[in-house]
Amino acid sequence: MQSNSQQTLQVSIDALKQAAGFRAADCITDGMVVGLGSGSTARHATLRVAARLSEGSLADIVAIPTSDETERLARERGIPLTTLDDHPRIDITIDGADEVDPELDIIKGLGGFLVREKIVAYATEHEIIVVDHSKRVNLLGTRSPVPVEVVRFGWRNTMAALERTGAHIQMRMAGNAPYITDEGNYILDCRYPDGIEAPADLNATLNTIPGVVDNGLFLGVAKTVIIASPDGIEIVKRRP
């Protein structure tokens, strides 16, 4: 059972996530194609989009969800959905992150949806990342592992190759069984004890390993990061 202080902290963090998600959702305008991210902070953005549609302050949008979970939520709340095949360019995507560095490079994937999130991100004109202040880091990899999605066939060989990059690896689990992504793959969480000094080099190395589908390094993708803290909302934009 959680103590009163733990419950208060959780409520406070959730309120910050809601503030960031709502602020991002208010950037959407009529007629846009919108990417709906996954995870706790992005969920608040999706709920705000649904509320704006219901109250009439937003109209004529279509949305592309980044996970089965987000798709179910969007359908429940009446958000009209489409596909990337029908709308290959997305105006705005709102998504969360597990880490954000000063260059606005990020780590994503602790929610388990990194492949679809990355596909949607790279089809997006304006990627907005929403986080609470605890996700800010000076160096990627110091707070979060890098999730790496791998094909189940031969995954132990893939893991051995990942270990040779210096990673300490833990298989993502769902209870007593390996976690299975929406695409039917495993996730290996790769922790780099000293952080990641050269994320672009690591990204390239990881994605050349046979069996790796993709990894949670999202580099050069975020255009805007909305950070909620007890002091208020901070909006940081990528330098040109």
Q: Which of the residues are catalytic?
A: 117
Please give the distance of CA 111 from its chain centroid, rounded to a whole number.
7
- Cα 58 from Cα 49, distance rounded (Å): 8
Give me the phi and psi of 54, to 5 degrees please: -65, -40
Torsion sign, CA atoms 207, 194, 136, 185:
positive
Helix (H) or strand (E) segment spanning residue 46: helix 40-55
β strands within 37-102, DSSP E: 62-65, 90-95, 99-100
Query: Which two tokens mark 238?
Result: 């990528």
- Torsion, CA 10, CA 236, CA 217, CA 193, rounded to 10: -60
Nearest Cα to Cα of residue 21 among 95, 78, 81:
95
SS3 content of the chain, % helix, strand, coil (to 5): 30, 30, 40
Structural contact between residues 228 and 133, judged by C-beta atoms closer than 8 angstroms: yes
Residue 231, classed as helix, strand or coil, is: coil
